[in-house]
Amino acid sequence: MILFVGGHGRKTGKTSLVCGLIRALPEAGWTAVKVSRHGHHGRGGYGIFEQARIDATDSGRYLAAGAVRSYWVAAGGDAIGSLADELRRLLAGAGNAIVESTSLTAWIKPDLFLLVIDPATPEWKPSADVSLGLADAFVVVGRGPDALSRPLPGDRPRFCVQPPEFVSEELISFVSSRLAAQAARGNDATSESGNSSEALNPSRPP
């Protein structure tokens, strides 16, 4: 499963939520990805970089939380478009991936998209209005939906969380059920593929 975690602005708790889900669901064997819309000159500008050790960076925090692998993507301006194919290959081979990004939904469709909303954060990026339409569920931080400056769509789940954990039992159960459903679909596809192979090779011994 590919899970995206986005937000309506900076400092909404996206990284803490990603870490919380990694800790809560270690059986998923997460590959974690942080997408930043700026370059990192110390690492050679734009590109995809694997995080080798635990440190204070967001991608380092993912490893500390229990991610199997962690990557940092530097993609300022339109650079994310040129990295999209490489990212698709990385995510396709990852098993279960959790990606901290809002803008990446323009290039890659996740299996589940959580949008973090923090009423205490006044910034509301123009792209957040698009994200409201794309999100599968909303994670509301702190004071809850009643404190929001603008209404959220009422046709999708919303989960209230508190710092510093940024997860709740209800949210963990929701993500866990989506992981199980995605795994079941994968098993069904494998089974159908196997049956098709047998039909094409009837002389193959049992």
- What single-letter DSSP state applies at residue 170? H
Q: Which domain holds residue 127?
A: 2-148
Q: Which of 16-20, 93-97, 123-127 has the lowest mean pLDDT?
A: 123-127
pLDDT in tens, 56-95: 999 999 999 999 999 999 877 667 788 889 999 999 999 9
- pLDDT (mean) for 169-182: 97
- pLDDT (mean) for 127-143: 90
Q: What is the CATH number of the domain that holds 77?
A: 3.40.50.300
- Cα gap 134→126, rounded to integer Å: 14
The model's pTM: 0.86
Q: What's the number of domains the chain is made of?
A: 1
- Cα gap 119→155, rounded to integer Å: 20
Look at residue 51 and tell me if it is in a domain: yes
- Cα gap 15→20, rounded to integer Å: 8
Look at residue 106 and tell me if it is in a domain: yes
- Cα gap 26→24, rounded to integer Å: 6
Look at residue 53 and tell me if it is in a domain: yes
**Which tokens is 124 given?**
């509301």
Q: Please provide residue 118's backbone torsions phi and psi, each rounded to the nearest 5 degrees.
A: -120, 110
